[in-house]
């Protein structure tokens, strides 16, 4: 076989070996070199993107658009009717173009859902539905009843007396003596307490509330605190309080 025929034969075998790839045959000084560049792209794992077709925004409503979007997405997630395989949320650009609203409006709704734990952001991947939605915690089963104490009452009383005596000795540390540094757990650094600020705030509260603070409080808790909690649950959790 001649030299030229040998080169052609080797080149044909190289081309067969590199089938399905981009083959580059280089001939230098009578030798044949093959360089392979894969033309088949690597398969990447894709996650289906959710389609919020149920979103209907009312521009004539007094409710802001971002609040409408946030509420409807939250209700869709809590209903559990979405496909579990489609856990990725569309980008703000795509969703804004689909709904005909601005990206800041979508971002504001997404931010609220992220803060409340309905969505989670993954670095370089996008925004996804949270693995455990906040509503699932509200519907959690009650914990099992506490385990009964198998020790005899006499042992329990002895342990209680020992604990009480020890606590009394701990609380007496440093009382009436020189300033010391105690490392006992449960004792705060009372010397760091802002007494001047406390007194100023106490005077302001007493001047505002007056004799109302001297009456017995409601067994259900402070009315202003209950109102604040009810307003939060109504606005951010959709609860009727």
pLDDT tens digits, residue range 76-102? 888 876 655 557 888 889 989 989 999
User: Both tokens of residue 210?
Assistant: 């007056």
Spatial separation of the C-alpha atoms in residues 13 and 50, rounded to whole Å? 49
Spatial separation of the C-alpha atoms in residues 210 and 213, rounded to whole Å? 6
Range of the domain at 130: 65-138
CB 90 within 8 A of CB 98: yes
85 and 125 share a domain?
Answer: yes
33 and 89 share a domain?
Answer: no
Spatial separation of the C-alpha atoms in residues 47 and 42, rounded to whole Å? 16
Half-sphere exposure of 170 toward its Cβ, with a 13 Å CA cutoff? 12
Would 96 be classed as within a structural domain?
yes
Spatial separation of the C-alpha atoms in residues 107 and 94, rounded to whole Å? 12
| Angle in degrees, CA 235, 127, 89, rounded to 5 | 80
Asked which of 95, 119, 138 is the last residue of a domain, the reply is 138
Asked which of 96, 123, 138 is the last residue of a domain, the reply is 138
**Interval 24-65: pLDDT, tens:** 444 444 444 444 444 444 444 445 667 777 788 998 899 999
Number of domains in the chain: 3
**Global pTM exceeds 0.75:** no
Query: Collapsing DSSP states into helix, strand and coil, what is residue 160?
Result: helix
86 and 22 share a domain?
Answer: no
70 and 29 share a domain?
Answer: no
83 and 132 share a domain?
Answer: yes
- Of the chain, the percentage scoring pLDDT greater than 70 comes to 55
């Amino acid at each position: 076989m001649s030299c030229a025929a040998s080169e052609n034969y080797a080149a044909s075998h190289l081309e067969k070996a590199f089938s399905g790839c981009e083959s580059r045959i280089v001939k230098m000084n009578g030798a044949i070199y093959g360089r392979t560049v894969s033309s088949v792209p690597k398969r990447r794992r894709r996650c289906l993107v959710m389609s919020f077709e149920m979103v209907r925004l009312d521009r004539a409503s007094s409710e802001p658009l971002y609040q409408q979007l946030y509420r409807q997405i939250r209700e869709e997630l809590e209903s559990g009717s979405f496909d579990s395989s489609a856990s990725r949320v569309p980008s703000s650009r795509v969703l804004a173009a689909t709904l005909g609203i601005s990206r800041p409006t979508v971002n504001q709704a997404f931010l609220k859902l992220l803060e409340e734990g309905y969505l989670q952001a993954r670095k370089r991947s996008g925004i996804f539905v949270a693995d455990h939605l906040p509503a699932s915690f509200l519907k959690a089963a009650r914990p099992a009843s506490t385990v009964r104490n198998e020790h005899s009452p006499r042992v329990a009383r002895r342990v209680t007396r020992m604990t009480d005596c020890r606590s009394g000795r701990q609380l007496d540390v440093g009382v009436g003596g020189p300033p010391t540094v105690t490392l006992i757990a449960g004792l705060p650094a009372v010397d760091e307490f802002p007494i001047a600020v406390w007194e100023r705030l106490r005077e302001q509260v007493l001047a505002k509330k007056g004799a109302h603070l001297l009456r017995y409080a409601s067994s259900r808790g402070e009315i202003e605190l209950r109102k604040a909690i009810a307003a939060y649950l109504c606005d951010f959790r959709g609860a009727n309080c």
